[in-house]
Amino acid sequence: MADIAAELSGIVGAEYLLAGDAIGEDYAHDEALSSEPVKPAFVARPGNAQQVAQLLKAASELGVPVTARGSGSGMSGAARPRENGLLISFERMSAILEIDTENHVAVVQPGVSLEDLDAELAKHGLVYPVYPGELSASVGGNVGTNAGGMRAIKYGVTRNNVLGLEAALPTGELIRTGGKFVKTSTGYDLTQLIIGSEGTLALATEAILKVQPRMPHQGTVLAPFVDLDEVARAVPKVVSSGVGPLILEYIDGLTMGAITYRAQLQLGVPDEVREKSHAYLVVQLESRSADRLEEDVAEVGELLAGLGAMDVYVLDGSAANKLIDAREKAFWAAKEAGADDIIDTVIPRASLPQFMERVRAIAQENNTFVIGCGHAGDGNVHLAVLQKDHEVRDRVLHDLFEAGINLGGAISGEHGIGRKHTERFLALTDPAKVDLMRRIKTAFDPAGILNPGVLFD
Amino acid sequence: MADIAAELSGIVGAEYLLAGDAIGEDYAHDEALSSEPVKPAFVARPGNAQQVAQLLKAASELGVPVTARGSGSGMSGAARPRENGLLISFERMSAILEIDTENHVAVVQPGVSLEDLDAELAKHGLVYPVYPGELSASVGGNVGTNAGGMRAIKYGVTRNNVLGLEAALPTGELIRTGGKFVKTSTGYDLTQLIIGSEGTLALATEAILKVQPRMPHQGTVLAPFVDLDEVARAVPKVVSSGVGPLILEYIDGLTMGAITYRAQLQLGVPDEVREKSHAYLVVQLESRSADRLEEDVAEVGELLAGLGAMDVYVLDGSAANKLIDAREKAFWAAKEAGADDIIDTVIPRASLPQFMERVRAIAQENNTFVIGCGHAGDGNVHLAVLQKDHEVRDRVLHDLFEAGINLGGAISGEHGIGRKHTERFLALTDPAKVDLMRRIKTAFDPAGILNPGVLFD
């Protein structure tokens, strides 16, 4: 171990290699619930891409497992280290290298937080539109999990907004993929392959992000419906209208209660409506023109009223921000409420009612409490599972995932598989696909050092 | 050979396997210029996905090289067969399986043409927004090359609009990737890896396409500028305005002459402007509202006038359609004008003037005629190269690609590498990346049967 420490600290410098008691608690976990923290043998904090590549090369030679960490805000344990392993923390590589207003891209290091990036882009009237709930999340972590968020209905997810990467391979090379352009057909798209690979193929050391003009005006409509079926029926009509919503979320009645209570939020929904409504639809619009926004908001309001909404509330800016913010923090509300697990199955959005019917049945069969909200426009359902018994909870998660897959969905829309769901992923995925993915993994990482236990056992 | 024929015809049925003289000329080429046609040993026309998978399995066992063919409209020779090989033509697998208006997707077989798909989607008020010039192109071919086209500035390219695939692996399995949802973080994104792989990894047997509401109103602004520098300076301003152009094309003076002459097109640009203008910018906008479109068109017109346009012409619907159509057919104009090669290098769009300066220098040094037009918003430059001498032309292409790469670009934005540019691709690409791609290729295709000579030698 002393030899390994010497080699690693020779790469990053002694002050940037931690071992033993010098390793703080924070490095031992991400935000995956019901996961035991694990302190790694080493934490390296590289200062540049070359050091990352050298660390990987050394780890490959020494057979040391490597886990990458951005801000540690992941939900599936993909940043939870191995006891005998090396954690590479990107905290020192957090620079915004360039905001290129001619090509509409930002070039950043992986450790930069979405919050810092947004503050800088705002100065240029630009926005990087990927908004997962947690703004302390790092771009590198977002690349790892292919993070999504509420604006995916309009702008897509991480993979739709990252144009290129610099990445360190486990074999020690640094490669550049993609570039400051939105299209290329020049060999395999390594950018897209690395995005969402949860630190198992290569580590991004730089990212070229597509940025957009920042729209100055936003408007939000809140519509309570009797149930989720009605919400699901309304969603395609909103999309078909061509109004191009920025956000299209559903929140079930219980979750709405929890998040508004937690945020002390008054939305003006009268008691008699609240009592009868089991599902809310939140539609946020944006526009470069205040007049057009007002027209669009009115149009959506009328459309929803015609589609069975019990009422339609146009939220003022402050209430809207608070609601969106509260929705973004639904995870924390669930955590405080004692959630033992959070999942984010994705299904074709029209199958939302059928899926939720299965969810209710699975919850009932297993005497488990399951509540949620989700990205109605994307079919991405976030569910909090409250069940202390480990075995029962395992069965519930398995059955929920299976229900999603049977409806043409997938285990995770944006959180990733991580250490948490790898076993279920392997059990529920076509073996031909798993084998192929394993061969791709080996093509990148012949020594198998990158995040063992994630995606493969 | 008789044994091979027997095995293959046992899979697809004797009437769907062609050999020898029964193989028509069309199967011997795509639209890559200056490429000798090559008749394959066999043409199979499978009727379903299982047959495709069985053909690949048999080919792997027999060591027969396999080339896939959609409509044969590719520009880089990726559908040009091998003399001793099997060509799989998807002409019988051209069904539109489903238009799902709830999830906003279309499920199609790979042989369907963009034209047929568009006609069907139009009935539902929907559009699949990928519009490469050639509407006889098949969806499967588009998947192979990651086809782009003029609307990429707004809607992205093929990879941004394909949500899932069914694909046959060379090892004989059929797998399903992605689904009727826009986001997933559940293992490696095989959909994205197969898209743009030019038939070297797996063959798509079904595709799930994201479709959009079809906008009823379109408006087009034509602005002549003194030179390309001015055009390139105007482009980011149009993007920053937030007007969200559907099309943002530049056409150089010579190409404009050629395509308008060919189409007998009167655009109302007076002689004195035409004589002084070396570059045109075409901006097309779309909207769901006629009033908004009119406002947007006026705004873009004013913006361009303020950015140095010599004049601004709002084209009526008929003239606009003819111009866009003529631009789409620029390839045919170039072919008729005697072009010996067409390339489509992509660069960061702000580097367009620098790139074109290098293009002029390379053309002059080599006594070669190079003209073009391109996707100004995407930095994707289409150049026709007129040079009969094979060696000189090779050098010119190499130098043009190298110039693009040196500016942070890539060899091809949307045409692909194909058989035509593989040698140059290998010479100009980081060997670490080529090696990695080769290992990925082997992970899919251990017997090396899929399109040998494309991407790798």
Q: What is the 3-state secondary structure (H, E, C) of B425-457?
A: HHHHCCHHHHHHHHHHHHHHCCCCCECCCCCCC
Which residues does B40 contact at the CB level (< 8 Å), separation at least 6? B23, B27, B28, B67, B81, B82, B83, B84, B85, B86, B87
- Name the token pair of B359: 């293009």
Q: Do the chains contact at A189 and B192, CB–CB below 8 Å?
A: yes
Q: Do the chains contact at A187 and B157, CB–CB below 8 Å?
A: no
CATH class of A96-213: alpha beta
Q: Do the chains contact at B440 and A442, CB–CB below 8 Å?
A: no
Write out the H or E segment, with its range, that includes residue B203. Answer: strand B203-210
Name every chain A residue with its beta carbon within 8 A of the beta carbon of B413.
181, 183-185
Mean of pLDDT values over A8-15: 98
Q: Do the chains contact at B379 and A181, CB–CB below 8 Å?
A: yes
- Nearest-Cα residue of chain A relative to residue B157: A183
CATH topology (fold) of A335-438: Alpha-Beta Plaits (3.30.70)
B contact test, residue of A162, A188, A218, A355 with most B CBs within 10 A: A188
pLDDT of res. B2 = 85
DSSP calls for B230-283: HHHHHHHHHHHTT---SEEEEEEHHHHHHHHHHHT------HHHHHH-SEEEEE
Helices in A278-386 by DSSP H: which ranges?
A: 290-306, 317-328, 330-336, 352-365
Neighbour-count burial of B288, counting CB atoms closer than 10 A to its CB (0-12 exposed, 13-18 middle, 19+ buried): middle
- Nearest-Cα residue of chain B relative to residue A198: B187
Name every chain B residue with its beta carbon within 8 A of the beta carbon of A292.
292
In chain B, where are the structural domains located?
Answer: 2-91, 96-213, 217-328, 334-416
Pairing mode, strands A96-100 and A105-108: antiparallel
Count chain A–chain B contacts defined by CB atoms under 8 A. Answer: 260
A contact test, residue of B155, B188, B444 with most A CBs within 10 A: B188
How many angstroms separate the CA atoms of B422 and A8, rounded? 40
CATH, range A217-328: 3.30.70.2190
pLDDT of res. A286 = 97
Name every chain A residue with its beta carbon within 8 A of the beta carbon of B240.
101, 104, 125, 213
Query: Position A220: which residue type?
Result: T
Name every chain B residue with its beta carbon within 8 A of the beta carbon of A189.
146, 159, 192-193, 195-196
pLDDT of res. B330 = 82
> Is the pLDDT assigned to residue B162 strictly greater than 90?
yes
Name every chain B residue with its beta carbon within 8 A of the beta carbon of A53.
none
Of residues A407, A101, A11, the one with CA closest to residue B241: A101
Which residues does A341 contact at the CB level (< 8 Å), separation at least 6? A33, A34, A384, A385, A387, A393, A397
> Is the pLDDT assigned to residue A159 strictly greater than 90?
yes
How many angstroms separate the CA atoms of A196 and A202, rounded? 11
Percent of chain B with pLDDT over 70: 100
List beta partners, residue A30.
none
Architecture of domain A2-91: 2-Layer Sandwich (3.30)
Q: Do the chains contact at B182 and A455, CB–CB below 8 Å?
A: no
Angstrom distances, CA of residue A457 to CA of A345, A453, B168, B177, B451: 21, 5, 26, 21, 33
Between A105-109, A129-133, B252-256, the lowest mean confidence (pLDDT) is in B252-256
Average of per-residue pLDDT values in chain B: 95
Between A92-96, B299-303, B330-334, B377-381, the lowest mean confidence (pLDDT) is in B330-334
In this complex, the residue of A100, A347, A432 whose CB is nearest that of residue B175 is A432
> Is the pLDDT assigned to residue B367 strictly greater than 90?
yes
Q: Do the chains contact at B197 and A188, CB–CB below 8 Å?
A: yes
Neighbour-count burial of A220, counting CB atoms closer than 10 A to its CB (0-12 exposed, 13-18 middle, 19+ buried): buried
In the block, which residue shows the tokens 């990087």?
Answer: A128
Distance from CA of B68 to the nearest CA of A (A): 17
pLDDT of res. A219 = 96
Name every chain B residue with its beta carbon within 8 A of the beta carbon of A241.
213, 288
Q: Do the chains contact at B185 and A100, CB–CB below 8 Å?
A: no
**What's B135's DSSP letter?**
T
pLDDT of res. A414 = 96
pLDDT of res. A449 = 98
- Name the token pair of B123: 């009935």
Name every chain A residue with its beta carbon within 8 A of the beta carbon of B410.
179, 181, 184, 186
Query: Position A282: which residue type?
Result: V
How many angstroms separate the CA atoms of B168 and B17, rounded? 19
Tell me the pLDDT band of B262, cut-offs 50, 70 and 90. Answer: confident
In this complex, the residue of A175, A408, A425 whose CB is nearest that of residue B186 is A425
pLDDT in tens, B38-63: 999 999 999 999 999 999 999 999 99
B contact test, residue of A155, A186, A241 with most B CBs within 10 A: A186
In the block, which residue shows the tokens 């998978």?
Answer: B53
pLDDT in tens, B315-341: 998 899 999 988 888 888 888 889 999
pLDDT of res. A282 = 96
In this complex, the residue of B184, B188, B380 whose CB is nearest that of residue A193 is B188
Tell me the pLDDT band of A335, cut-offs 50, 70 and 90. Answer: confident
In this complex, the residue of A239, A240, A409 whose CB is nearest that of residue B179 is A409
How many angstroms separate the CA atoms of A164 and A377, rounded? 27
Of residues A181, A180, A177, the one with CA closest to residue A197: A177
Name every chain A residue with its beta carbon within 8 A of the beta carbon of B146.
183-185, 189
Helices in B157-198 by DSSP H: which ranges?
A: 158-161, 190-194
Tell me the pLDDT band of B233, cut-offs 50, 70 and 90. Answer: very high
How many angstroms separate the CA atoms of A445 and A167, rounded? 13
- Name the token pair of A302: 């009328």
Domain B334-416 has CATH 1.10.760.10: no
Query: Position A154: which residue type?
Result: K
Query: Position A334: which residue type?
Result: A
Average of per-residue pLDDT values in chain A: 95
**Helix (H/G/I), strand (E/B), else coil: B47:** coil
pLDDT in tens, A398-457: 999 999 999 999 999 999 999 999 999 999 999 999 999 999 999 999 999 999 999 998
In this complex, the residue of B175, B417, B443 whose CB is nearest that of residue A443 is B443
CB A237 within 8 Å of CB A272: no
CB A245 within 8 Å of CB A272: no
Mean of pLDDT values over A124-150: 96
Distance from CA of A266 to the nearest CA of B (A): 32
Tell me the pLDDT band of A331, cut-offs 50, 70 and 90. Answer: confident
Q: Do the chains contact at B185 and A148, CB–CB below 8 Å?
A: yes
> Is the pLDDT assigned to residue A164 strictly greater than 90?
yes
> Is the pLDDT assigned to residue B152 strictly greater than 90?
yes
pLDDT of res. A1 = 82
pLDDT of res. B254 = 86
Are the folds of B217-328 and B334-416 the same? yes
State the number of CA atoms in the 13 A half-sphere of B92 facing the CB.
16
pLDDT of res. A255 = 87
Name every chain A residue with its beta carbon within 8 A of the beta carbon of B190.
433, 436-437
Q: Do the chains contact at A436 and B169, CB–CB below 8 Å?
A: yes
pLDDT of res. A206 = 98
Distance from CA of B207 to the nearest CA of A (A): 14
Name every chain A residue with its beta carbon within 8 A of the beta carbon of B414.
183, 185
CB A168 within 8 Å of CB A205: yes
A contact test, residue of B177, B185, B343, B397 with most A CBs within 10 A: B185
Pairing mode, strands B96-100 and B86-89: unpaired
> Is the pLDDT assigned to residue B220 strictly greater than 90?
yes
Q: Do the chains contact at A159 and B100, CB–CB below 8 Å?
A: no
Q: Do the chains contact at B193 and A196, CB–CB below 8 Å?
A: no
Q: Do the chains contact at B408 and A179, CB–CB below 8 Å?
A: yes
How many angstroms separate the CA atoms of A320 and A220, rounded? 6
Of residues A165, A170, A256, the one with CA closest to residue A450: A170
Of residues B306, B311, B300, B369, the one with CA closest to residue B340: B369
pLDDT in tens, A274-326: 999 999 999 999 999 999 999 999 999 999 999 999 999 999 988 999 999 88
**What's B350's DSSP letter?**
G
How many angstroms separate the CA atoms of B235 and B279, rounded? 13
Distance from CA of B243 to the nearest CA of A (A): 8
pLDDT of res. A240 = 93
